[in-house]
């Protein structure tokens, strides 16, 4: 699948000379590390886009190519395979998320670790405003990275699709790639647990409390430990425990997607209404986690400012939303009401595995 000259020029025009792209050097450990950079990087994916869209339900791998600018500014073009992925987003999105699989020889020839597939999340629909939804979901990952290493790393991409079937015009949009779960598990000196059900009390206490408070921080009602819904469970030797890692934040209040609605069993009607979904904790346990949020507040707010593509108005709105969280945790009566009186052990709102309605 050759890159057509007029689109080669289009691609080159997207890439500024000061992009700090991850170089092909010995210190790199994985294909995800290979694409890590301090700013947005640029990709072109060429594939039969009509075929990709029509195979949303069957998740079949198909041939594609990935073009990017690498060491010394040289264009690299790799053969890869792609397929659609995700449950809910395949149903509601014009452009569903995909998984990219890199050939084993591509990995081996660069002495990279054998994690050869990466999840790619794109704008859900064709509306330009949806790009902001993706940027805010990217921000959620970056915020959790600030709080703990027990989190998925992400990289922002400027993605251009070229349709080899010639039924779709080239289009460019923001996307993000997510660290493979096996790579995350290796960082934590562990393996992914295959448990389908996991009680919060069976996991690392302080990390699970941090995670549940974080979900309250970003106002995300779309997760559950017991059914491992939108969380990965890692059996970690480093932490000598099961640790829970959240992902998929598009139903959170900071993203505020128009399609996001809370489960009907919840005592909220909008995802911007915060609702604590964690197990019951003592005031002392909560305060130790709140202290982390206080210490990390400058870094957290800095991550908001660093997101390329959000307007100043967008950033002010997000910071005000986070300020409300800090106002709540500063007042013991509010903490008691929000986190203790209505915690999971005291409520019957969710005793069965969650499914989106």
169 and 252 share a domain?
no
pLDDT average, residue stretch 255-261: 92
163 and 223 share a domain?
no
Residue 353 in any domain: the answer is: no
Model confidence at 27: pLDDT above 70? no
Q: Which structural domain, as residue segments, surrounds residue 194?
A: 188-346
pLDDT range class, residue 167, cuts 50, 70, 90: confident
pLDDT at 348: 47
pLDDT at 73: 78
pLDDT at 196: 86
283 and 172 share a domain?
no
237 and 92 share a domain?
no
119 and 230 share a domain?
no
Domain boundary among 131, 159, 183: 183
Domain boundary among 133, 155, 183: 183
Residue 219 in any domain: the answer is: yes
Model confidence at 280: pLDDT above 80? yes
- Which has the higher per-residue pLDDT, 168 or 143? 143
Model confidence at 87: pLDDT above 70? no
33 and 170 share a domain?
yes
pLDDT average, residue stretch 169-180: 92
- Which has the higher per-residue pLDDT, 254 or 49? 254
Model confidence at 242: pLDDT above 90? yes
pLDDT at 346: 58
pLDDT average, residue stretch 140-161: 97
Residue 352 in any domain: the answer is: no
Residue 194 in any domain: the answer is: yes
At a CB cut-off of 8 Å and minimum separation 6, what does 125 contact?
93, 94, 95
Residue 354 in any domain: the answer is: no
pLDDT at 353: 47
Q: What is the pTM of this model?
A: 0.88
Look at 62-66, 119-123, 241-245 and tell me which has the smallest mean pLDDT.
Answer: 119-123
pLDDT at 97: 86
pLDDT range class, residue 71, cuts 50, 70, 90: confident
Model confidence at 18: pLDDT above 50? no
pLDDT range class, residue 20, cuts 50, 70, 90: very low
Domain boundary among 183, 208, 238: 183
140 and 241 share a domain?
no
pLDDT average, residue stretch 124-148: 90
**Residue 213 maps to which CATH number?**
1.10.1070
- pLDDT for 303-354, tens place per residue? 999 998 999 999 999 999 999 999 999 999 999 999 999 887 755 444 444 4
Residue 133 in any domain: the answer is: yes
- pLDDT for 176-235, tens place per residue? 999 999 999 999 999 999 888 898 989 999 999 999 999 999 999 999 999 999 999 999
142 and 213 share a domain?
no
17 and 66 share a domain?
yes
Residue 229 in any domain: the answer is: yes
pLDDT at 316: 97
312 and 265 share a domain?
yes
pLDDT at 56: 66
Total domain count, the chain: 2
pLDDT at 91: 61
25 and 94 share a domain?
yes
196 and 178 share a domain?
no
pLDDT at 205: 94
Residue 357 in any domain: the answer is: no
């Amino acid at each position: 699948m050759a890159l057509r000259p007029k689109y080669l020029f289009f691609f080159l025009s997207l890439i500024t000379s000061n992009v700090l792209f991850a170089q092909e050097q010995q210190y790199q450990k994985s294909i995800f590390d290979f694409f890590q950079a301090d700013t947005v990087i640029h990709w072109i994916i060429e594939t039969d886009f009509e075929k990709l869209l029509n195979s949303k339900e069957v998740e079949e791998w198909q041939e594609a190519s990935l073009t990017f600018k690498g060491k010394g500014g040289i264009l690299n073009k790799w053969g890869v395979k792609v397929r659609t992925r995700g449950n809910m987003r395949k149903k509601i999105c014009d452009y569903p998320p995909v998984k990219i699989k890199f050939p084993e020889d591509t990995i081996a020839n660069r002495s990279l670790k054998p994690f050869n597939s990466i999840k790619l999340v794109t704008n859900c629909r064709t509306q330009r405003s949806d790009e902001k939804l993706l940027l805010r979901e990217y921000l959620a990952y970056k915020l959790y990275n600030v709080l703990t290493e027990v989190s998925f790393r992400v990289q922002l991409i400027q993605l251009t699709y070229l349709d080899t079937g010639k039924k779709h015009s080239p289009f460019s949009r923001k996307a993000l790639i997510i660290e493979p779960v096996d790579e995350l598990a290796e960082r934590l000196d562990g393996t992914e647990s295959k448990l389908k059900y996991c009680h919060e009390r069976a996991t690392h206490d302080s990390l699970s409390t941090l995670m549940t408070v974080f979900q309250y921080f970003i106002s995300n009602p779309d997760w559950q430990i017991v059914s491992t819904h939108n969380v990965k469970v890692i059996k970690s030797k480093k932490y000598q425990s099961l640790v829970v890692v959240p992902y998929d934040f598009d139903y959170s209040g900071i993203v505020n997607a128009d399609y996001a609605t809370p489960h009907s069993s919840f005592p909220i009607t909008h995802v911007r209404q915060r609702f604590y979904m964690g197990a019951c904790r003592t005031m002392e346990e909560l305060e130790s986690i709140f202290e982390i949020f206080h210490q990390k507040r400058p870094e957290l707010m800095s991550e908001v400012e660093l997101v390329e593509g959000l307007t100043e108005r967008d950033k002010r709105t997000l910071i005000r939303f986070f300020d409300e969280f800090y106002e709540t945790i500063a007042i013991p009566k509010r903490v008691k009401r929000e986190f203790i009186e209505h915690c999971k052990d005291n409520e019957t709102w969710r005793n069965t595995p969650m499914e989106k309605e």
